[in-house]
Every structure is written in structure tokens, then in C-alpha cells.
Amino acid sequence: MHPDCERILLTEEQIKTRVREVAAQLDKLYEGRKPVVVCILKGSVVFFVDLIRAMQSPCELDFMAVSSYGSGTRSTGELLIKKDLAANIEGRDVLIVEDIIDSGNTLYHLKKMLNRRRPASVNIVTLLDKPSRRQVPMEPEYTCFEIEDEFVIGYGLDYAEDYRNLPYVGVLKRSIYEGK
Ligand code: PRP
């Protein structure tokens, strides 16, 4: 385990098993259709590549970069589009892939914005959900794991851009982000 981790929250094996289950549910949902699967950079990239490889459905891949966070741990409620989709999603089924939902602000604004482009459907799949932190109504259609309000890193999730390549989800030691 990484020395900055207090403990491992989700092991590689737990994540792999759950990702397979959710991929099977998505295959059922999109049977006979070809969704545009959208990776929300950067945090969801690891989950995204594992999820799409576990899915059997044909799909198109696209990427967006949005931001509602500074470098700290609190959400501001603002949404900044740093990179937009390449695809025209009008009439398409869109699957948004996120790593974590916290306040819900990012996806609340993102979903509203994408819906204005008149897609056939927009669904959200998230690796992690912290429902206790919600500030706006935002319910993902698919959640791999609901977690407590702890500072999690790894499997795509960062603290100040570190730890994204850890293969598991861990809880960051408080002393790291409190700078002690
Ligand atoms: C994280 C995460 C979501 C958002 C969730 O992204 O990937 O997009 O924050 O928070 P919210 O529910 O409070 O809006 P972040 O801005 O940290 O960027 P990153 O994915 O590049 O790390």
C-alpha cells in the first residue's frame, strides 16, 4: 500500500468484480443501440477504460474535460468546460462515465447542458458516490460503490494530481492534505 494511504477502501479485485456487474447491466440497457460513452477527464479515465472493455455493446467513445474544483477539496458549484465533445449527440444515447459524485454540481450542470443538445437519452454511471455530500439533486442511474465522506485517491482519483495510477481506491492520510 502507498505510504500516503491510511487504508485501502476498495481492492483491485472488488473493483473488477463490480465493474463487470455494472457493464452487464449497461449491455442490457443498450441492447441493439450504440451509445456515445463519454469519459469525463481526468478522474474517470481508469474506470472508463475498464468499463468499456467489460461491455459487449458496440459504442462510440468521446471525452470531455470540465471542472468545478480548484486544487483544494471543496466544490465551488461553477462548471467550466475545458474540452467539449467531438461528437454531435443529437438523437444519440449518451452514457456519462464519472469517477466520483460529491456535491453533485458537476453532473447537475453537465447533464443540463448536454440535454440542450437534444440527445435521445443521457445516463450517468459513476464508480463512487458520496450521497451525504450532495448540494443539488443528482441521482446517477448506475453506481458501483456508495462511500462515506472520506478523502479517496487512486484508480483515477487524485489529490493535487498525485495517486491517479494506484490500482485500488484508498483513503488519503489526513496529514497529507492538511499539510502536517
Ligand atoms: C471530480 C470528479 C467530478 C467532480 C465531482 O473532478 O471527477 O467531475 O469532481 O464533484 P461534484 O459532485 O462536487 O461536482 P475534478 O474536478 O476533481 O477533476 P479531475 O477528474 O480531473 O480530477
Domain boundaries, the chain: 5-171
Mean pLDDT on 150-165: 97
Q: What angle do CA 6, 12, 15 make, to 5 degrees?
A: 105
99 catalytic, yes or no?
no
**Tens-place pLDDT, residues 13-32:** 999 999 999 999 999 999 99
CA distance 47 to 16: 10
Q: For residue 98, which atom of ligand 1 is closest to its CA?
A: 7
Q: Ligand 1 test: best mutation among 41, 45, 69, most atoms within 8 Å of CB?
A: 69
CA–centroid distance, residue 67 to ligand 1 (Å): 6
Q: Answer yes or no: is the C-beta of 110 below 6 A from any ligand 1 atom.
A: no
| Sheet (strand 169-172) strand order | 5-10, 169-172, 152-153
- Three-class SS state of 55: coil
pTM: 0.93
Residues 102-118 have pLDDT tens digits of 999 899 999 999 999 99
Reported CATH class of domain 5-171: alpha beta
Q: Which atom of ligand 1 lies closest to the CA of 105?
A: 14
Structural contact between residues 46 and 155, judged by C-beta atoms closer than 8 angstroms: yes
Q: What is the pLDDT of residue 172?
A: 97
Look at ligand 1, atom 2, and give the residue with the nearest C-alpha.
Answer: 100
- Residue 129: pLDDT over 90: yes
**Percent with pLDDT over 70 in the chain:** 93
pLDDT at position 180 over 70: no
Query: Residues of the chain with pLDDT > 90: what percent?
Result: 87
Does the beta carbon of 100 sit less than 6 angstroms from any atom of ligand 1? yes
Mean pLDDT of 23-51: 97
Q: Is the pLDDT of residue 91 over 90?
A: yes
Select the more confidently predicted residue: 105 or 89.
Answer: 89
The pLDDT mean for the chain works out to: 93
Distance of alpha carbon 112 from alpha carbon 103, whole angstroms: 16
Q: Which of 50, 93, 99, 102 is catalytic?
A: 102
pLDDT value of residue 158: 97
